[in-house]
Structure 1
């Protein structure tokens, strides 16, 4: 018997998405709570304002958040881990162990590892004796260089480290001077993690991803790192005016009967609320492109423009940058998708000033 799709207005879909992503007025209380409920926070260390993970956590926790809080949970408490470009709850490691045994999925990578077994053994031996260490401190003994025409060409140590991390043999221990330090996984990951069978783990991850998004497409274009679609989990849904097949998590539907209380937030371009541009368009009717890779003359909104959330609508972008030497946050432009009311403009400016306080810089241009 076919399940009747849940019919959502765009306003309802927006409210569910915002609340699921912890961006409503009820703020979470800790870094670990945020990561557990979002399931992932993307690592993107280079930024014109702050590393993306820090921006994501600040937008949820507010200015009480300190980057040291995240580093402590990653490197001391080990309640979180960094895996494949994402910060995840350490409790979720069991959902990846079965997949690690099947990695890598590509024949080219599998062959490169196989013909470089001595190189792999050298790295593991080096980590056993000296870990944790930076990748640049490990000798490159690869007999067969990593074949690539891009930035990874001949970066043998970092490529093998990435491969061994995805296979569960090494892990990121911490950071030193902005660079990752590596060690044997058995020294980083706790004992007794229960491995979840692959198919079951895949379904659980999809369900948790949908819960963290509230509403998501059942199918989406392939994304690097973490997918943005969720397959058949949850309930089928339609969104007013959207031709996309959507899924909604049953846990969030009771929120439709509750009052929604929103707030204003500045988001990282890598924030999961807006990361999938098709989803952002379908739910929020929001147009956005990260323009840091574009020539300056071709940019419409700015190098690292921050999307603006106001209650349950995405309403514009803030083009800003930080000069660390002069300790200044310069706001080059506030792009209004539609003209702001005076109340909205004041709320956005307040959030920009809060960003400056968190960064411990003064603000110019507001």
Structure 2
């Protein structure tokens, strides 16, 4: 059947609007304003890499340039407006979403108990009761405060001692929650002592959660395949999302559209009926530096289809073979991704090594000046006193 065509320009504008990247990054960036920004996005991925700023902080700063990292910590630890758990990765999630993570807890408990018994060393399940009793009796703890008589592994990120694995298992299955982070170290406590009663009391059934996940994902993406809906929260299966789409389509709740890629190819997707008619403002021409984990870029294939922007983090590429630095920051101007920048914070200096423009992007004097202005703003955010440019930094 013929479906209406969502042009590439309109698709970009809708997508960027849903990701908070069409208007100027104004607002206080704390309290209720910050909580609303996170709710608009659905969640904010947490990541420990800190060459300039942690991923979650840069994601929020690019939308609220008065934002400072303490504001997110206050929402998590003091105000309980967000909680920390898993989507496709660790994330800060609005507290109102907590009831729909119960399905995630149930499924992770069964899945990880089976998978980790082979992937993690020793018998971590034998430590769960001991860890729970330790926290119940003595209060919150970190992974360094349990299993002190257990040997620490040296085999990489996932070579955990058994009690550390037990802690993570209890967290992923919902029995423990992250009370706060000290630096980037998780401090765990019993869920009933962390999550407010009102959000723990609500226990939706599986179909309610599938509905909530698919509706919420489509709201935040603007258009999507069933697979993209499933992947957004990573809380429902592709089969469940596909069945939801079929039912919603039959009930005329959603429509099919053909989304035009930057290459002119069409991709059949689902959308709300008003997607073709609702006014959508073009993005302001403001230039912004984005996190490599920005939600607008998380699906690398979608970013390439919509924007023609091929982006990968070259962590595991040997230095001589890297085209760019291993961890470079995407740069967006209005509705166009114009390049990527290699920069890092060295105490009070923001060092800019290189900027690579995308094909067809001309780096004239005005655009370079706009980039330098944004780098000055970034330096303030990062606590730097100056920006230092390498010779020939515009490549």
Query: Does the alignment reach a TM-score above 0.5?
Result: yes
Residue from 134, 144, 155 that aligns with 1:126: 134
Residues 161 and 52 of structure 1: CA distance in aligned 2, closer, same or farther (over 3 Å): same
Residue from 242, 246, 261 that aligns with 2:265: 242
Answer whether contact 2:47 2:56 (CA < 8 A) is retained. yes
In structure 1, how many angstroms separate the alpha carbons of the residues matched to 2:343 and 2:267? 34
Answer whether contact 1:79 1:89 (CA < 8 A) is retained. yes
Partner of 2:30: none
| CA displacement at 1:131 relative to structure 2 | 2.1
Q: Which string of whole-angstrom CA distances, capped at 9 and with x for unpartnered residues, describes residues 269-305 of structure 1?
A: 1111011111001111111111133222222121221
Q: Which string of whole-angstrom CA distances, capped at 9 and with x for unpartnered residues, describes residues 99-144 of structure 1?
A: 323333256247689x6554111101111122211111012688xx
Partner of 2:173: 167
For structure 1, which runs of at least 5 residues remain unmatched after alignment?
A: none
Partner of 2:356: 335
Q: Which string of whole-angstrom CA distances, capped at 9 and with x for unpartnered residues, describes residues 313-341 of structure 1?
A: 111101111112xx111111111102234
Residue from 194, 199, 205 that aligns with 1:197: 205
In structure 2, how many angstroms separate the alpha carbons of the residues matched to 1:36 and 1:256? 22
For structure 2, which runs of at least 5 residues remain unmatched after alignment?
A: 28-32, 249-253
| CA displacement at 1:309 relative to structure 2 | 0.9
Partner of 2:93: 88
Partner of 2:387: 363
In structure 1, how many angstroms separate the alpha carbons of the residues matched to 2:338 and 2:373? 15
In structure 1, how many angstroms separate the alpha carbons of the residues matched to 2:73 and 2:160? 30
In structure 2, how many angstroms separate the alpha carbons of the residues matched to 1:275 and 1:334? 21
In structure 1, how many angstroms separate the alpha carbons of the residues matched to 2:152 and 2:222? 40
More deviation, 160-169/230-239: 230-239
In structure 2, how many angstroms separate the alpha carbons of the residues matched to 1:216 and 1:148? 42
In structure 2, how many angstroms separate the alpha carbons of the residues matched to 1:27 and 1:127? 41
Answer whether contact 1:25 1:262 (CA < 8 A) is retained. no
In structure 1, how many angstroms separate the alpha carbons of the residues matched to 2:96 and 2:126? 33
**Structure 1 residue 32 corresponds to structure 2 residue 35:** yes
Residue from 270, 280, 293 that aligns with 2:303: 280
Q: Which string of whole-angstrom CA distances, capped at 9 and with x for unpartnered residues, describes residues 188-240 of structure 1?
A: 01113212212321231222122222233433599798489865375322122
| CA displacement at 1:49 relative to structure 2 | 0.9
TM value normalised by structure 2: 0.81
More deviation, 85-94/25-34: 25-34
Partner of 1:137: 145
**Structure 1 residue 179 corresponds to structure 2 residue 185:** yes
Residues 26 and 206 of structure 1: CA distance in aligned 2, closer, same or farther (over 3 Å): farther
Length, aligned pairs only: 359
In structure 2, how many angstroms separate the alpha carbons of the residues matched to 1:221 and 1:255? 21
In structure 2, how many angstroms separate the alpha carbons of the residues matched to 1:258 and 1:199? 35
In structure 2, how many angstroms separate the alpha carbons of the residues matched to 1:51 and 1:140? 30
Answer whether contact 2:147 2:162 (CA < 8 A) is retained. no
Partner of 1:100: 105
